[in-house]
């Protein structure tokens, strides 16, 4: 099979999806061990650890995606100076900002814990320890992200997934082992720091071994000026900062307004659904350097955009439809009756929000490819502002359901305007987006939803849940094969080649 641009795209997506499949399997198997081992209160603090490291990641000021763009462009144009300049500016951004932020967090942890929690002294002391572990882990996280961004720019998604799998396996499996051995919250948080240190060393080692020699072999060129790199980084940083508000600050709202137990009841299903964001992110990550190569727009950009959008929807909509219908049985079997009773409808609203979020992924790649990084920040801030307003209005009245409702509105409202703007940018008519982008996957997903609604009441255990899920998958695959365009069938052949055939 000839190695075309489409083949490279779907092969790289295949690497990403195969890695994410293993990550999802680890989480599904081990999160219940950690939740039940720590208890709802202490697991809420463990959620805070992860959320805080995500907050700290924003202090690289957007350098990650900027690095991917300029490294991909430099390699595509055989401009060694551009690759080396991007590496240097990126290293400065990933080192300076996170170092200052982590130091401030470590020093200010007692005051932050006192503001955030109103529980007993023991809980506040544990929160201080968790925040300081997050500060230490944030330094290693930043180093790993620098290495990963260089690897992504080189389009070595096989190496990226080695880092991802190692980091996830170390963090999640290690936490489960520590809990089972009686290490408790203190042992889990210390292990989190150590696991991120190992992941950072791995990412830097893979960059040094496989990417750096390629960059050094390229001839000198025009390079990347510091001002240009900074402009791109800050534009994208504004968007990533808003995304943190949209997808992480909800946890602070709950922790401050309710309890750590309530936070756990929300965060576990929300984290599962946010894990599904990896699917659009994986495809978008591959699309960014490809659309940056295209650069000029026109027919090529429109064709690649529609094909990538369909490909994403073909993969994600059946997962979302299945989760929406089977959420009560899944949460009860996976985590217990408390989750099955109190978390179902918030989780279902988040499923719908995830469907809307997915539409933005390929639009973001198109905006970067057409040199509109500010658009991503604009829509992200629209989502953040809608989130904050909606949470303020709905959380006091509806609690967990109010958080999920705010998140849903934050996706639906800005996405409507954003897609319209991106489609004008690439010259894509509204009708064509529906007929060539949305219609076929949406029809199959609605058919699957109808089938599952007819049969879901029969699910009374894991065997029945798995059987119905398998039946739904076969039904959807047949429907998709009948309705898919010929180029979509070819895309899935490339995907299978990317998953099962080594490069």
Judge contact between 84 and 150, C-beta under 8 A.
no
pLDDT band at 161 (very low <50, low <70, confident <90, very high): confident
Question: What pLDDT score does 337 carry?
Answer: 75
Q: Which is nearest to 157 in space by CA: 274, 68, 280?
A: 68
Judge contact between 141 and 64, C-beta under 8 A.
no
pLDDT band at 171 (very low <50, low <70, confident <90, very high): very high
Question: What pLDDT score does 91 carry?
Answer: 96
Range in 6-10, 141-145, 283-287 the model is least confident about: 6-10
Strand ranges for 134-187 from DSSP E:
none
pLDDT digits 0-9 by tens, 369-413: 888 877 888 888 898 899 989 988 888 888 888 888 998 999 999
Enumerate residues 6+ apart whose C-beta is below 8 A from 391: 250, 253, 402, 403, 406
CA 181/CA 35 separation, integer angstroms: 14
CA 130/CA 486 separation, integer angstroms: 52
Q: Interhelix angle for 184-206 vs 121-153, to 10°?
A: 10
Question: What pLDDT score does 500 carry?
Answer: 43
pLDDT digits 0-9 by tens, 435-484: 988 999 999 999 999 999 999 999 989 999 999 999 999 999 999 999 98
Enumerate residues 6+ apart whose C-beta is below 8 A from 397: none
Range in 250-259, 262-271, 334-343 the model is least confident about: 250-259
CA 25/CA 362 separation, integer angstroms: 26
pLDDT band at 289 (very low <50, low <70, confident <90, very high): low
CA 288/CA 304 separation, integer angstroms: 11
Residue whose structure tokens are 């299978």: 496
Question: Across residues 15-19, what is the average pLDDT?
Answer: 65
CA 390/CA 228 separation, integer angstroms: 36
Q: Which helix (H) or strand (E) holds 302?
A: helix 298-335
Question: Across residues 173-177, what is the average pLDDT?
Answer: 94
Q: Which two tokens stand for residue 44?
A: 């809420």
pLDDT band at 293 (very low <50, low <70, confident <90, very high): low
298 has a pLDDT exceeding 50: no
Question: What pLDDT score does 501 carry?
Answer: 44
Q: Which is nearest to 262 in space by CA: 386, 403, 133, 121?
A: 403
pLDDT band at 16 (very low <50, low <70, confident <90, very high): low
Question: What pLDDT score does 502 carry?
Answer: 39
User: What separation, in Å, do the N-terminal and C-terminal C-alpha atoms of the chain show?
Assistant: 13
Question: What pLDDT score does 433 carry?
Answer: 92
Q: Which is nearest to 309 in space by CA: 412, 433, 416?
A: 433
Question: What pLDDT score does 295 carry?
Answer: 55
Question: Across residues 173-188, what is the average pLDDT?
Answer: 94
pLDDT band at 314 (very low <50, low <70, confident <90, very high): very high
Q: Is the dihedral of CA 213, 165, 144, 233 positive or negative?
A: positive
Question: What pLDDT score does 200 carry?
Answer: 96
Computed over every residue of the chain, the mean pLDDT equals 86
Question: What pLDDT score does 63 carry?
Answer: 93
**Residue % of the chain over a pLDDT of 70:** 90
């Amino acid at each position: 099979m000839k190695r075309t641009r489409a083949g490279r795209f779907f092969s790289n997506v295949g690497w990403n999806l195969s890695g994410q499949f293993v990550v999802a399997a680890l989480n599904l198997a081990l999160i219940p061990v950690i939740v039940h081992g720590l208890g709802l209160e202490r697991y809420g603090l463990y959620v805070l650890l992860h959320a805080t490291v995500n907050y700290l990641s924003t202090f690289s000021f957007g350098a990650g995606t900027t690095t991917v763009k300029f490294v991909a462009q430099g390699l595509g144009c055989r401009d060694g100076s551009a690759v080396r300049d991007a590496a240097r500016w990126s290293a400065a951004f990933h080192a300076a900002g996170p170092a200052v932020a982590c130091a401030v967090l470590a020093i200010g942890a007692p005051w932050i814990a006192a503001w955030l929690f109103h529980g007993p002294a023991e809980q506040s002391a544990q929160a201080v320890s968790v925040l300081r572990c997050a500060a230490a882990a944030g330094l290693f996280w930043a180093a790993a992200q620098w290495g990963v961004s260089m690897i992504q720019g080189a389009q070595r998604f096989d190496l990226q997934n080695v880092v991802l799998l190692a980091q996830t396996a170390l963090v999640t499996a290690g936490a489960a082992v520590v809990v089972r051995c009686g290490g408790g919250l203190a042992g889990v948080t210390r292990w989190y720091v150590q696991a991120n240190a190992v992941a950072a060393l791995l990412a830097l080692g893979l960059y040094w071994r496989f990417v750096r020699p390629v960059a050094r072999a390229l001839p000198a060129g025009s390079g990347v000026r510091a001002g240009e790199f900074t402009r791109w980084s800050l534009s994208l940083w504004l968007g990533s900062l808003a995304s943190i508000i949209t997808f992480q600050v909800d946890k602070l709202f709950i922790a401050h307004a309710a309890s750590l137990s309530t936070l756990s009841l929300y965060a576990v299903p929300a984290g599962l659904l946010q894990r599904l964001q990896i699917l659009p992110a994986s495809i978008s990550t591959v699309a960014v350097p490809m659309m940056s190569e295209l650069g000029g727009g026109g027919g090529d950009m429109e064709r690649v955009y529609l094909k990538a959008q369909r490909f994403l929807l073909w993969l994600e909509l059946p997962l979302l439809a299945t989760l929406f219908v089977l959420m009560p049985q899944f949460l009860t079997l996976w985590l217990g009756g408390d989750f099955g009773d109190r978390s179902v409808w918030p989780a279902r609203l988040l499923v719908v929000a995830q469907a809307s979020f997915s539409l933005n992924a390929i639009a973001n790649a198109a905006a970067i490819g057409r040199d509109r990084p500010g658009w991503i920040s604009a829509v992200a801030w629209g989502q953040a502002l809608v989130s904050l307003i909606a949470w303020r209005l709905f959380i006091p009245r509806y609690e967990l359901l109010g958080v999920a409702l705010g998140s849903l509105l934050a996706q639906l409202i800005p996405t409507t305007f954003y897609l319209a703007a991106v489609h004008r940018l690439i010259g894509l008519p509204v009708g064509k987006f529906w007929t060539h982008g949305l219609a076929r996957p949406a029809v199959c997903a609605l058919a699957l939803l109808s089938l599952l609604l007819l049969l879901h009441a029969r699910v009374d255990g894991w065997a029945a849940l798995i059987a119905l899920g398998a039946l739904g998958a076969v039904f959807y695959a047949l429907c998709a094969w009948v309705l898919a365009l010929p180029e979509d069938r070819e895309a899935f052949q490339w995907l299978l080649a990317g998953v099962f055939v080594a490069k």
